[in-house]
Structure 1
């Protein structure tokens, strides 16, 4: 089982979306989320965009990244500059780092809820595409079952 931590600035939007997207690609991963400055909860707009795309987010309270800094991780995936800066807080227990840069759709204040939802949807689309490429190029081969010879399931040695 591969342990993956996804870190954003407040663990209320981008990290939650990334967790759902990444786990939808396949099995063999335990995915956790955390925030550098954890927020109070997940905005309704995030729930709405994810439901429109076939996902159901949990109502788990945002978690501080400090909780996870001393645990071993196969991957820590950071989603913003603030999260990337938290790298120094981790012990030497992270095997791989991956950084993506996604804009915070809630950074600017909009009076129009439709504009906010559009921003969240744009981040979702970009995130889905890039996380799929990450899964396909870096994770999927590691998650495949192995033959006794060390090859993946496509081995013909038997």
Structure 2
């Protein structure tokens, strides 16, 4: 079984959405973990937008990357530039490292409709990335 780490700054939004999609798409082919270099708790907007697509991430927890010390990673996916640039060294000589800086919907200030649109944009980008990753790397 492959071990996949999805890493973001606060493990509240983008990494959680990717975690949800990878769990659904890979359906037991890999163990998915998400973490942050900090922990900010689950973002309610991320939980809501994923629920709209039939994926429940409400029971996920916001974890610090240090909690997963010693896991032999097959893939480490960073989903924001800040995490990529500030992540502590993760010893895993065999891990394939993949980076994609996704738009951060949690930074959008505006009406509820503007915020929803931002979360939808990020979710769709992450969903497309996860589909391509699953097809390319694990099929």
- Per-residue displacement from partner, 1:53-87 (whole Å, max 9, x unpaired)? 01111333311112224431011111011221245
What is the root-mean-square deviation of aligned Cα atoms in Å?
1.7
TM-score normalised by structure 1 residue count: 0.79
More helix by share: 2
5+ unaligned residues in a row in structure 2: which ranges? none
- Displacement of 1:11 after TM fit? 0.4
Partner in structure 2 of residue 105 of structure 1: 105
Alignment: residue pair count:
138
- Displacement of 1:88 after TM fit? 5.0
TM-score normalised by structure 2 residue count: 0.89
Partner in structure 2 of residue 58 of structure 1: 58
Which structure 1 residue ranges, 4+ long, deviate > 4 Å from structure 2? none
Higher relative contact order structure (alpha carbons within 8 Å, sequence separation ≥ 6)? 2
Rounded Cα–Cα distance in structure 1 between residues aligned with 2:87 and 2:110:
35
5+ unaligned residues in a row in structure 1: which ranges? 141-158
- Larger Rg: 1 or 2? 1
- Per-residue displacement from partner, 1:80-99 (whole Å, max 9, x unpaired)? 11221245511134521111
Check conservation: 1:23, 1:31, Cα contact below 8 A: yes
